[in-house]
Chain A
Amino acid sequence: MSTDTKQVIAEEKPAEAKPAEAKPTEEKPAEEKPAEEKPVAKPVAKPVAKPVAKPVAKPVAKSWVKPVAKPIELPAFEKSISDKVVEKFGDKIQVEFVKENRVGIKVDKENIHDVAEFIRDGLNYDHVESVSGVDYPQDKEIEVVYHIGSYSDSSLAKQLLVLATRAVREENPIPGKDATKLPTLRDIFYSVEFHEREVFEMFGVYFTGHPDNRRLLLPEDWADLPPLRKDFAIKGR
């Protein structure tokens, strides 16, 4: 459901921030200034992007990236990254969004291992910054989002590749023993080790192949639901 509403734009900003017009004299200059500044930020990303194959990849992408059909111009370099992935994997993946400096890709859990391997070897991303779980009880799924960055490739320094995958969610979880399982990415990105341990205890997503699926942050005697699931309510709320 997140994919439908997901839009590519960071551009429609100024409308929302208008508060009650109590002090119009103060507000106006505040709104206008950033508008002038915006164009400054953009060109930084573009020049890097130019050489990469923009026209080649576009037709391939069109079938897949629905939001792209809109006339908004996508950041070119980010687009080229997502196109590379689309070219390699076709309909196994789904491009969720292409924003400035961020490319979002959604994968099934069967393919995540291959996609991650391609991201490391083919696209030069080399470490994972963050692994966050997001619980969607209405879809009966738990999403695990990897934010992958690169230190060694300087053209990718400001880029983050957001790789998302979903695991089945069980009503009565028995962490580690139920169907909520995902393949680990530790053998590809070593840096996910503690992050995946954290997701395991906070969401009950067991990472098969992870050598060290122990508890990390919670107390040893924790016997409740994994606390970051939506059905775990904190006291008084």
Chain B
Amino acid sequence: MTNELPPGLAIQKVDERIMTLNVGPQHPGSGHMRIIVQIDGDYIVACDPDPGYVHRGEEKMAEYRNYITNIPHLERPVIHDSCNILYPYVLGVEELLGIEVPERAKYVRVICAELNRCIYIMYWLAIYGIFLGHSTMFMWPAGDRELLIDLMEKISGARVTHAHFVPGGVRNDLPPNFEEVCLRQINYFEKRIKEYAAVFYDNPILISRTENTGVLSREDAIRLGTTGSVLRASGVDYDLRIKEPYDVYEELDVHSPVMKEGDSYARSKIPWLDMLESCNIIKQALQKMPKSGSVRVKLKPNPKGKGFDSVYKRVESGRGSLGCHIVSDGKVEPYRLKLSVPSFRNLIALPYLLKGEKLGNMPSVYWSLNYWPVEADR
């Protein structure tokens, strides 16, 4: 941990008891990143995450594209949560350009964002199932997820990469008869995910594997600056949909789940409770949405900011608070664009949580951080 060489080239000098293991990037329990762990017997002594395998330079590329052409590539970091990762960017651009969004568009955005949150969490849950060797928990969410993907496909035309949010509203209006179909799907979906409790969350094997592993106390969760489900699993009630409501969230009744334990089990249960809450929000939004009206303010072809200005907007994504810092210099391209992504912020907790754990618990702790490596690397 102390030598100056970069992690890929460092040869660790360890005593005979301690062994260094590279977990990943080719490993079923790591995803797109490498975790360098030092183990003593079966216990992890130290851990050094090594992200960056999917670092694609989004922030640099954004400086060469104008505000509208930035949309497709900025959603690529989390293609299964693409509405939510575009959300802060779009809000920020709207503030820079001084655009006001029609009321109906705000509701459509909320519906899309909540649908996307469910799609994201279902994928996350499927992978969590496979990490723990629970095949049913891969098959069920991966199958049920397709229902919501169908809905999003109806709205935007693409399975995962929607590019549906644009500064000034959303790209298209909802398809005809959408409210009915959506309500039916959501009702079924809600009934369906409640069944997961029986097979997964009340499963004694899961409980014995995840309870009291990787415990993150409330103080540490705050100190490490974690966010989203990790933070709420440690007993901090912080959800931007409630605390700093954007668009129409303040008109909706949002309750975000909080648990006190702070272990892997709590961290894996919070997203599931989030999904139930999302279903509620979608139902409310469908009810309160204005039935007709414009969904998009037309922009000038190449919108520009007004002089030097900077905004920082954040939303609650499927993983936590997602911020976008845009600095504009009055040109058609952003001067600097920074995505402050929840995965990157939660990564800091990993070395902290793994210390003293058994090596076998590594996948469950790692994936319970609600971590998506592509997003962390940007």
- Identify the A interface with B (CB < 8 A): 1-2, 5-6, 10, 12-17, 19-20, 22-23, 26-27, 29-31, 33-35, 37, 40-41, 44, 101-102, 126-130, 132, 134-135, 145, 147, 151-152, 157-158, 160, 162, 189-195, 198, 202, 212, 214-220, 227-228, 232, 234, 237
Contacts and interface: CB of A to CB of B under 8 A. Distances in A.
A19 B314 CA distance: 27
A232 B59 CA distance: 13
A17 B97 contact: yes
B327 A134 contact: yes
A16 B297 contact: no
A217 B347 CA distance: 13
Interface of B: 1, 4, 6-9, 51-52, 55, 57, 59-61, 64, 95, 97-103, 168, 222-225, 227, 231, 236, 238, 243-244, 250, 293-294, 297-300, 306-310, 312, 314, 321, 323, 325, 327, 335-336, 338, 340, 344-345, 347-348, 377-378
Contacts of B300: 19-20
B100 A31 contact: yes
B64 A234 contact: yes
B65 to A, nearest CB: 10
A189 B297 contact: no
B222 A130 contact: no
B216 to A, nearest CB: 13
Nearest to A33: B103
A234 B100 contact: no
A26 B295 CA distance: 10
Contact of A2 (B103, B223, B308): B308
Candidate in A23, A220, A227 with the most chain B CB atoms within 10 angstroms: A220
B76 to A, nearest CB: 16
A151 B100 CA distance: 30
B103 A101 contact: no
Contacts of A212: 1
Candidate in A130, A152, A214 with the most chain B CB atoms within 10 angstroms: A130
B341 to A, nearest CB: 9
Contact of A214 (B7, B309, B327): B7
Candidate in A128, A160, A217, A219 with the most chain B CB atoms within 10 angstroms: A217
28 contacts: A10-B95, A13-B98, A16-B98, A17-B100, A17-B168, A19-B297, A19-B300, A22-B298, A29-B293, A30-B100, A33-B100, A34-B100, A129-B323, A129-B340, A151-B236, A151-B238, A160-B314, A189-B225, A191-B225, A194-B344, A195-B344, A216-B51, A217-B55, A217-B378, A219-B8, A220-B6, A232-B60, A234-B64
B222 A152 contact: yes
B297 A227 contact: no
A147 B323 contact: yes
Contact of A5 (B55, B101, B236, B307): B307
Contacts of B294: 26-27, 29-30
**Interface pairs A-B: 3 shortest CB-CB:** A191-B225, A130-B340, A34-B100
Contacts of B224: 127, 190-191
B372 to A, nearest CB: 15
A40 B244 CA distance: 14
Contacts of B344: 194-195, 198
Contacts of A30: 100, 102, 293-294, 297
A17 B222 CA distance: 40
A91 to B, nearest CB: 23
A14 B168 CA distance: 12
Given A130-B312, A151-B222, A216-B51, A16 B99 contact: yes
A203 to B, nearest CB: 11
Nearest to A4: B308
B60 A228 contact: yes
Contact of B8 (A15, A16, A220, A237): A220
Contacts of A13: 98-100
Contact of B314 (A27, A129, A145): A129
A147 B98 contact: no
Contacts of B307: 5
B7 A157 contact: no
A5 B308 contact: yes
B255 to A, nearest CB: 16
Contacts of B227: 129
Nearest to A229: B60
Contacts of B250: 40-41, 44
A33 B168 contact: no
Contacts of B321: 129
A127 B308 contact: no
A27 B294 CA distance: 8
Contacts of B100: 13-14, 17, 30-31, 33-35
A75 B290 CA distance: 31
A97 to B, nearest CB: 8
B193 to A, nearest CB: 28
Contact of B244 (A33, A35, A101, A218): A101
Given A129-B321, A158-B243, A220 B98 contact: no
Contact of B312 (A152, A162, A219, A220): A162
Given A5-B307, A16-B97, A27-B298, A218 B52 contact: yes
Contact of B308 (A1, A135, A237): A1
Contact of A157 (B168, B243, B308): B243
Given A16-B306, A220-B8, A191 B345 contact: yes
A34 B293 contact: no
Contacts of A215: 6-7
Nearest to B314: A129
Contact of A12 (B60, B98, B99): B98
